[in-house]
Structure 1
């Protein structure tokens, strides 16, 4: 089958598309990182070697591997090769605490852990069992070098039949205590992402810059469609606004998926208007609140279209705002994508009337199978309509206007999105409660120009304690992941609570803004 024939199928495999591109254009660039370029012919061959190596090591289809490393060509090769073998990939955040890393590796049942030198210390501190083999992506001494682990050149894996609902990857939510939630995304869901993106100009001439980490679903919803279309993907191991625009000019970039804080930093570059970015066809944004003012600035000064996606890693329903076509709707997150059913429900689970506010729930062909090994959490995330159709709850509160555009009013949950990453206040509060001087604690997200949002803690000390806010902040940040660290700590005589004992976090947030 040709790549175009595969793309027209109701369901297909991304690994098969890459093989088709390798046969049609073997020398076309697939993955680019710094001065290294991997073409489709070599990528396809490397994927075969990875798949054959996994099968040689007894890692069968449906089993899991974990990857914890900075973005790079080898990372992409291992991820894609595992998919060809039907092996499930759990990409883990290097910024996680050692405790979280250990929990995630254990939870997903990874037989192998692919890592690099940048995460070696955290992995060692995590105390991951020796039975989990370590493969070094950068050929450092942190594991068996990738080149030594790979099967011989020209090795071919045994064919594997992969069903649409087979697990593709497990994306973990953030967490420092308890078991982080592993979101199981099936092959069917990833294929829907490919099909959704097919109308956005992802073809063999496309050049996509991936500047967010490969463990993030934000990146993967751009990474896989770009390769499925046969274009080139430029990988950045760490985002830098000036480097991004330099790479965009150098490679004549056509696509990018960025989070709002990255857009803000790019638009704030003093020399932004001197850069030639006319090659861009489409820019995307997701993962965090995207202000109407910032959208407007991008439309005015950055060539190409701008699309905002509103949805969850868990899937369900997605709203799409084609900002370049609807400049009067920049305060919204758009309308439901074709084939996506988005509804609003009240506290009792009943649908609300048109124009009323309710919790956003969604249903589509792109939905998680559930939270890995956590059926109770999966059940909590689901809502069923009267016909028994399954929806995913977002925890966000919104309202549809008369034209079907969704405006988000607030988040029902108190999740903080900092730099595009989810930060859960309950995780930070659990760490704070471990401090001997802390009697009560609450964490809220406040606006930040640098990060979009950033966590701030409010503390009530135990009687007689002489601890300072600075000392508690240092203590907590030593125990939190990099994306979770507190920007500030304030000590209060007591935390404001409602009549039923609930901490009034909005009052705390307002108090911080006024201070």
Structure 2
């Protein structure tokens, strides 16, 4: 591994060697590396002028933009931690996150300010508007003058790079603290993924997500170009890919599904692609196969947690017979399985996935108890991150995911993995998506219920789909109910919010508006 270098220093090096190279494309605007680096300096100087000190934090809540990227890097150059926050948060959670991270400044845009207008924020918290709107003081007036050079700051590798807040799918979001050293372990190893100066990376997932930063950081580190997409739509993404000759992108499974379903998919020239990535949610094997067949370039699926620990990668284009897995542990990463008593399980056995590597969060911000619950120590005292996922390794060392531990259904004393039933359902021609949850049952304790989104051409009724599915699964896996819905509730990065489905059904045992069911 090369000697530690900060991300902003690598950007500055590209600005010196290739000043005219395009760093960021935001709609019709383009920033060269020289202009990009100058604006980073201006942000750093403005933070220093306003008394924001190294190891302080700022918060950003906005759609992706050149100003967002410049501010992120400017804060890093100042030794200031960045807390990127989701505009999709509830106002209450948003205010709690702003307070939790101790933000000295809050950067917003019109979209985020509108979504958070009811948030109980401190009255003395200064707000800066990226788009010079009423969301705060205008960014164009706040940023230091062109050509301003900030005071140099020496960055401790163990200081905080960012605070990524969990999606909140299991409760109040937790602040996941990443250091500069952790990020260096990620962006300092650019090969063999092609993140060099010729990389053109399209970002359609939001910048508050670790999913996005997995591609954001190495693209800038390698002197490549970022193409920003404020809001995802399938056709618009393909248009940008063809227009800018995109080589890399990170998409979540629901985005792949929507893109591949476009009748005009084959009309776009995607021959420039080197690698496409996927993470954050289960990626169906048949969807991977479709992407491999019709979309040029490699396909890499990452499995891991924002908290870090052990991560796996599936190079699907090299292992087309392993699409039902999430690949093998990445170099320098150790992934093991443990039972409920904390013992490592044997080959071929099922267990909870734990992992360790140099890429591990520092802690959850201000939550020592939650931190202690997430880290697990083996008999030798080694520290591992608990994922809460259940899996097993095949004979070749590829990891197969079974389900989230909390989503596992225990019915009549038998363990039922929802993903097993979901994989059967999605093979039906009329089914677009399916989510299985455990519902209370007096007879069995819990029983599996599935929420189904039909294909546009789907005509099967709920009872017929229930009968078909129960004829394909084991006796203990049989569905007690099929519920048709228009869409599945998802987080901003595509994770199905099964808790919402469960709570909705518990609150309305009768057939609700927009639902039909077979019991």
In the superposition, the TM-score normalised over structure 2's length comes to 0.81
| SS of corresponding position for 1:185 | strand
Question: 1:337 is matched with which residue?
Answer: 330
How much does 1:176 deviate? 8.8
For structure 2, the residue ranges without an aligned partner over 5 or more in a row are: 409-417, 420-434, 440-446, 456-484
Quick check: 2:254–2:494 contact (8 Å CA) kept in 1? Answer: no
Q: Which residue of 2 aligns with 1:379?
A: 372
Does residue 1:182 correspond to 2:175, yes or no? yes
Alpha-carbon distance, 1:321 to partner: 0.3
- After superposition, the C-alpha distances for 1:336-378 in whole angstroms (9 at most, x for unaligned) are 0000010100111111111111000010111100100000000
Contact 1:95 1:482 in 2 (8 A): no
- Asked whether the 8 Å contact 1:99–1:176 carries over to 2, the reply is no
- Following TM superposition, by how much is the alpha carbon of 1:494 offset from its aligned partner in structure 2, in angstroms? 8.2
Q: CA deviation at 1:197?
A: 3.8
Match of 1:294 among 287, 299, 312: 287
Measure, in 1, the Cα distance between the counterparts of 2:355 and 2:277.
21
Q: Secondary structure of 2:349's match? A: coil
Partner of 2:381: 388
Residue 133 of structure 1 deviates from its aligned partner by: 0.6
Determine which of 165, 173, 178 is the counterpart of 1:172: 165
Of 372, 392, 407, the match for 1:399: 392
Structure 1 residues 149 and 257 mapped into 2: Cα distance closer, same or farther (>3 Å)? Answer: same
Number of residue equivalences: 446
Quote how far apart the aligned CAs of 1:446 are. 4.5
Contact 1:206 1:255 survives alignment (8 Å):
yes
* Offset at residue 122 of structure 1 (A): 3.3
Q: Which residue is equivalent to 2:312?
A: 319
Partner of residue 99, structure 2: 106
> 111, 117, 142: which is aligned to 1:149?
142
- How far did residue 153 of structure 1 move? 1.6
The reply to whether residue 32 of structure 1 matches residue 56 of structure 2 is no
- Residue matched to 2:505: 490
> Corresponding residue for 1:253?
246
Match of 1:359 in 2: 352
CA RMSD of aligned residues (A): 3.0
Task: Give me the whole-angstrom Cα distance separating, in 2, the residues matched to 1:99 and 1:253.
Answer: 38
Residue 9 of structure 1 deviates from its aligned partner by: 1.9
Which residue in the other structure is 2:184 paired with?
A: 191
Match of 1:455 in 2: none
Q: Structure 1 stretches (4+) deviating beyond 4 angstroms?
A: 176-179, 442-450, 480-488, 491-495, 511-515
Which residue does the alignment assign to 2:77? 84
Q: Judge conservation of contact 2:190–2:222 (CA < 8 Å) in 1.
A: no
Give how far 1:191 is off: 1.2
Does the 8 Å CA contact 2:280/2:493 hold for their aligned counterparts? no
CA distance in 2 between partners of 1:256 and 1:482 (Å) = 16
Measured at CA, do residues 493 and 123 of structure 1 come closer, stay the same or move farther in structure 2, by a change above 3 Å?
A: closer
1:229 Cα deviation from its structure 2 partner = 0.8
Inter-partner Cα distance in structure 2 for 1:492 and 1:37: 50
Distance 1:443 1:354 in 2: 29
Contact kept? 2:281, 2:494, Cα under 8 Å: no
Cα distance in 2 for residues equivalent to 1:446 and 1:167 = 41
**Structure 1 residue 57 displacement after superposition:** 1.1
2:269 is matched with which residue?
276
Aligned partner of 2:42 in structure 1 is: 49
Q: 1:487 to 1:404 in 2, by over 3 A?
A: closer
Query: In the aligned structure 1, how far is the partner of 2:138 from the partner of 2:449?
Result: 43
**1:275 CA drift (Å):** 1.5
State TM-score, norm by structure 1: 0.81
Give the Å deviation of 1:10.
3.7
Post-superposition Cα deviations, 1:155-186, rounded to whole Å, max 9, x if no partner, equal: 12221121222110001113399752100011
In the alignment, the residues of structure 1 paired with residue 368 and residue 165 of structure 2 have an alpha-carbon distance, to the nearest angstrom, of: 15
Q: Is 1:205 aligned to 2:220, yes or no? A: no
**Aligned: 1:122 with 2:137:** no
Instruction: Check 1:378–1:512 CA distance in 2 against 1; reply closer, same or farther (3 A cut).
Output: farther
CA contact 1:96–1:482 (8 Å) conserved in 2? no
Secondary structure at 1:114's aligned position in 2?
strand
Rounded to whole Å, the distance in 1 between the matches of 2:118 and 2:318 is 50
Aligned twin of 2:414: none
